[in-house]
Amino acid sequence: MDEQSHYEKWHQAFEASTLRKGPFTTMSGVPLEPVYGPKDGEFPGEFPYTRGVHAAMYRSRLWTMRMFAGFGTAIDTNTRFKEIIRSGGTGLSTAFDMPTLLGLDSDDPMSLGEVGRCGVAIDSLADMRDLFADIDLGAITTSMTINSPAAVMLALFVAQAEESGVSRDRLGGTLQNDILKEYQAQKEFVFPPRQSMRLVRDTMAFTAASMPKWNSISVSGYHIREAGSTAAEELAFTLANGFAYVELAQEAGLAVDAVAPRLSFFFNAHIDFFEEIAKYRAARRIWAKWMRGHYGAKDERSWQLRFHTQTAGVSLTAQQPEINIARTAIEALAGVLGGTQSLHTNSLDEALALPSEKAARIALRTQQIIAHETNVVNVADPLGGSWFVEELTDEMERQAEELFAEIAAMGDGSMLEGCIKGIEENWFQGRIADSAYQLERSFNQGERTVVAVNDFVEGNDDDDLTILRITNEDELKQRRRLDQVRRDRNDEEVRGALERLRTDAIDPEINLMPALINAAKAYVTVGEMMSAMASVFGRHVEVPSL
Amino acid sequence: MSVRVLVAKVGLDGHDRGIKVVARLLRDAGMEVIYTGLFQTPETVAIAAIQEDVDVVGLSLLSGAHLTLAPLVVRALRERGSDIPVVVGGIVPNNDLADLEAAGVAAVFGPGAGADHIVATINSLVAPSL
C-alpha cells in the first residue's frame, strides 16, 4: 500500500467523523474548509497533535461548557447545578469548601467560619446524595475538584451512584486528584507527599479496572499559574507532574496505555492571548512526543492531551468589576482557539466573592457567544501556520524542555522522584513565588498596566454590584445535618469500617478504594476517614519560606 | 530600628501568593518580615506576634472567612494584653469593611492595593509608638 499523505490521512479521519449541523460558511456565505495548511504539513488529529486532538475538532462537537459551582450546603449547590443544566451547561463541576478540601468535617474546630464559603460542604454520603439529587449521573459527566481527600470523595460518589442505581462502570467524569500541584501551588495538602501518592496510585488502579469512563486525574496547571508562575512554568510543571503520575502507575505495574488515556489536563487561560494559545499547542506536542518516545505508549489515546480550561481568576479586578466580562471573553477565546475540550468562564464578580447566579449566567453566555455567534468553531487550529504563533509554540516547548531537564536532574533521571524532591526542597514553590513577585513589581512600577488598577481608574468608585453572601446560617445548618447523620448511623458498622481502613492503610500493597467505599456506605464522615488514614500516614507540614 | 511585621495565614486558606508577594514588597521597603506559614489558629498567631515583638500583624484571607477569623485574631491579642494593630489583606467585599473596623481591624487592603499604599499605611500605624 502506498504511504498516505498527511492530507489523505486527515481527510479519511475527517470523513469518518460525525459533524454538527452547519452552516460551515462565514456569516456572508463564504464556504470554509475544516482546516487550512499545506497538504504535506501537520493536520489536526495527527501525531504530535499540535493542531488539535481530533481531525474535525469543533465541527464534530463543541467543547463541554463546564461551569464550576458549589457553595453552602449540598441542597443549595444541587439547585445551582439544576440551574446550570437548564441554562444549557453540558457538564457539572463541583467546588468544595475549604474544610472538605482539607478532609475536615464541618464540626471540626478548624472549620469555623469556612463551612460552605468557597464551595459546598460534603461530610458524608447523606450530603453526596443531596448534591446529585434528581440529576442522572449516567447521562451527564461530573467533575470533582478535590485532591487530598480525592479517594474519599470518589468512594462517596461511587457509593451514591450505586445507591441510585447507576453502576460504577457507567460513571463518566473527572476527579482532579492532582496532589503534586497541591504542594507546589494550591497548598491544600493533608498527608506527606509519598503517602499521598499511594492514594493517587490506588485511584488510578481502581478506575483503570472498574471505571472505564472515568478520568482518574486532571493534571492541573491552573493553580500553578494562579499562584504566580509564568506560562512556560505552568506548562512544564504540569506536564512534569503528568509524567510523574505515569511513572507512578508504571512502578505499580500498570501499563502506560492502561492509565495515560484516562489522564486529562487543566490549564489556565490568562490574558496574554497568543502566549496562551502557543502554550496549549506546545502542551499537546510535548505530551505526545514524551508518551510515545519516553514512555513507550502505543495507544494513540495515550498520546492525545485533552484539556479543560478556566479563564484566569487572578486577571480579574475588584475595581470596575463589569469590565471582567471583557477579560474573560478574550481569555475564553484563547482557550477555544487553542483547542480546549472543556471550558469554565469566570464570573465578573469573582475578585469579590463567589459568583452570583446572574454573574454565572453571563459567564456561560460568553461561551455561548463564542460557540454560536463568532464562527471561530468552523476551522480547526485557525492560527496554525502563523509565523508568530508557530515560533511562540516552539519557544514554549524549548522553555518547558529546559525545565524538564532540571526536574529530571533532581530525581536522577526520574520525573516522579524529581517532582517529589522539588517539592520537598521548595524548588517549585520558590520558582512560582519568584515569578509572582516579578510580575507584581512590574505592576507596582507601572511597567505593565492593569486597567482600573494602575491606570484608567475613572469609574472605580461606582459600586453597585450585588454579590452572593454566604451567611453563618449555612454553617449552622450544615453542622445540624452532620449531627443528624452521626445520630442515625450504626456505630458498630462505623467502627468496623474505620478499623478496616486503618489496617489496609498500614500495608502499602493494598488498594484502599474498597475500604473507603465500604466506609462511605456506613456513613463514616470525610473527616473520620481522613483521620484514620492520617493516623497511619502522618500529616504534612510545609516549612514556611518567603 | 526597622518596622517588624508578622504576616500570617490563619484558618484553612492555602492561597499564599498574595502573602508572599506582599512580604517581599514590605522587605523591599526596609521592613523586617516574619511569615508564620499556613494553617495557623488565632491563638498561634497572637502568641507568635507577642514573642516576636512585632509592630504589626498582617493577615491574608482569601477564602471568605475574614469576618470570623480576623476578629478572633484581634481578640486573641487583646486577651493577652497586646495592642499590636492587625491589618487584613485579601478578598474582602466593601460591605464587610465596617464590621472589620468595628472588630478592631486597623486597615484592610483589598484586591489591587498597591505596594506604596500598603507600606504607607503600615508606617502610619507604627509611627505613633516610635
Q: Residues B23-79: pLDDT tens digits?
A: 999 999 999 999 999 999 999 999 999 999 999 999 999 988 899 999 999 999 999
Q: Which residues pair with A346 in a beta bridge?
A: none
Q: Which of A383, A385, A392 is nearest to A37 (CA)?
A: A385
Q: Which residues contact A232 (CB under 8 A, 6 or more apart)?
A: A279, A396, A399, A400, A403
Q: In this predicted structure, what is the pLDDT of residue A496? A: 98
Q: Is B15 on the interface with A (CB under 8 A)?
A: yes
How many CB pairs (< 8 A) connect A and B? 109
Query: Between A90 and A406, whose confidence is greater?
Result: A406
Total domains present in chain A: 2
Per residue in A210-266, pLDDT (tens digit) is 999 999 999 999 999 999 999 999 999 999 999 999 999 999 999 999 999 999 999
Which residue of B21, B23, B63 is in closest CB contact with A118? Answer: B63
Domain span at residue B29? 4-114
Chain A partners within 8 Å of B13 (Cβ)? 98, 114
Chain A partners within 8 Å of B112 (Cβ)? 317-319, 450, 452-453
User: In one letter, which amino acid is B75?
Assistant: R
Q: Rounded distance, CA B1 to CA B32, Å? A: 10
Query: Between A299 and B114, whose confidence is greater?
Result: A299
Question: Is the pLDDT reported for residue A427 higher than 70?
Answer: yes
Q: Rounded distance, CA A525 to CA A346, Å? A: 31
- A412 inside domain: yes
Share of residues in chain A with pLDDT > 70 (%): 99
What's the mean per-residue pLDDT of chain A? 95
- B129 inside domain: no
CA angle (A421 as vertex; A516, B19 as ends), nearest 5: 85
User: In one letter, which amino acid is A253?
Assistant: G
- Map A499-522 to HEC letters: HHHHHHHHCCCCCCHHHHHHHHHC
Chain B partners within 8 Å of A546 (Cβ)? 20, 23-24, 27, 33, 35
Q: Do B35 and A111 touch (CB under 8 A)?
A: no
Q: Which of A42-51, A132-141, A443-452, B31-40 has the lowest mean pLDDT?
A: A132-141
Q: Is A114 on the interface with B (CB under 8 A)?
A: yes
Q: Is A101 on the interface with B (CB under 8 A)?
A: yes
Q: In this predicted structure, what is the pLDDT of residue A1? A: 44
Q: Is A188 on the interface with B (CB under 8 A)?
A: yes
- B50 inside domain: yes
Q: Which residues contact A27 (CB under 8 A, 6 or more apart)?
A: A375
Q: Is A323 on the interface with B (CB under 8 A)?
A: no
User: In one letter, which amino acid is A273?
Assistant: F
Is B78 exposed, middle or buried (CB count within 10 Å of its CB: 0-12, 13-18, 19+)? middle
Q: In this predicted structure, what is the pLDDT of residue A2? A: 52
- A88 inside domain: yes
What values do phi and psi take at B32, rounded to 5?
-95, 130
- A53 inside domain: no
Closest-CA residue of chain B to A467: B93
- A533 inside domain: yes
Q: In this predicted structure, what is the pLDDT of residue A477? A: 94
Closest-CA residue of chain B to A543: B37
Q: Which residue bears the cell 471568605?
A: B64
State whether A403 and A313 are in the same domain. Answer: yes
Diameter of chain A measured on Cα atoms: 72
Question: Cα torsion for A160, A164, A169, A172, to the nearest 10°?
Answer: -70
State whether A303 and A414 are in the same domain. Answer: yes
Which residue of A104, A114, A450 is in closest CB contact with B63? Answer: A114
User: With contact defined as beta carbons under 8 Å apart, do A105 and A111 qualify?
Assistant: yes
Q: Do B64 and A433 touch (CB under 8 A)?
A: no
Q: Which of B34, B71, B20 is nearest to A441 (CA)?
A: B20
State whether A385 and A523 are in the same domain. Answer: no
Total domains present in chain B: 1
Q: What is the CATH number of the domain that holds B14?
A: 3.40.50.280
Which residue of B25, B33, B38 is in closest CB contact with A187? Answer: B38
**A444, A465, A493: which is the final residue of a domain?**
A444
Chain B partners within 8 Å of A228 (Cβ)? 17, 21
* Strands lying side by side in the sheet with B56-61: B32-35, B4-8, B56-61, B86-90, B107-109
Per residue in A497-533, pLDDT (tens digit) is 999 999 999 999 999 999 999 999 999 999 999 999 9
Per residue in A442-467, pLDDT (tens digit) is 999 999 999 999 999 999 987 778 88
Q: What is the CATH number of the domain that holds A346?
A: 3.20.20.240
User: In one letter, which amino acid is A390?
Assistant: E
- A47 inside domain: no
C-alpha grid cell, residue A57: 475538532
- B127 inside domain: no
Per residue in A350-362, pLDDT (tens digit) is 998 889 989 999 9
Domain span at residue A181? 63-444
Residues 276-315 of A with CB under 8 A from B: 314
Question: Is the pLDDT reported for residue A109 higher than 80?
Answer: yes
State whether A403 and A514 are in the same domain. Answer: no
**A444, A466, A498: which is the final residue of a domain?**
A444
State whether A162 and A112 are in the same domain. Answer: yes
Q: Do A437 and B36 touch (CB under 8 A)?
A: no
Q: Do A433 and B39 touch (CB under 8 A)?
A: no
Q: Which of A314, A366, A375, A327 is nearest to A344 (CA)?
A: A366
Chain A partners within 8 Å of B34 (Cβ)? none
Q: Rounded distance, CA A314 to CA A322, Å? A: 15
Per residue in A199-213, pLDDT (tens digit) is 999 999 999 999 999
Q: Which of A280, A346, A287 is nearest to A313 (CA)?
A: A346
Q: Do A118 and B64 touch (CB under 8 A)?
A: yes
Q: Which of A315, A236, A229 is nearest to A272 (CA)?
A: A315
pTM passes above 0.90: yes
Chain B partners within 8 Å of A452 (Cβ)? 112
Helix A513-521 and helix A150-163, axial crossing angle in degrees, nearest 10: 50
Q: In this predicted structure, what is the pLDDT of residue A341? A: 96
Q: Span A295-320, mean pLDDT?
A: 97
Q: Is B113 on the interface with A (CB under 8 A)?
A: no
Q: Do B17 and A227 touch (CB under 8 A)?
A: yes
Per residue in A363-386, pLDDT (tens digit) is 999 999 999 999 999 999 999 999
Q: Is A270 on the interface with B (CB under 8 A)?
A: no
Q: Is A227 on the interface with B (CB under 8 A)?
A: yes
- A545 inside domain: no
Q: Is B98 on the interface with A (CB under 8 A)?
A: no
State whether A429 and A519 are in the same domain. Answer: no
Tell me: cis bond preceding A44? Omega within 30 of 0 counts. Answer: no
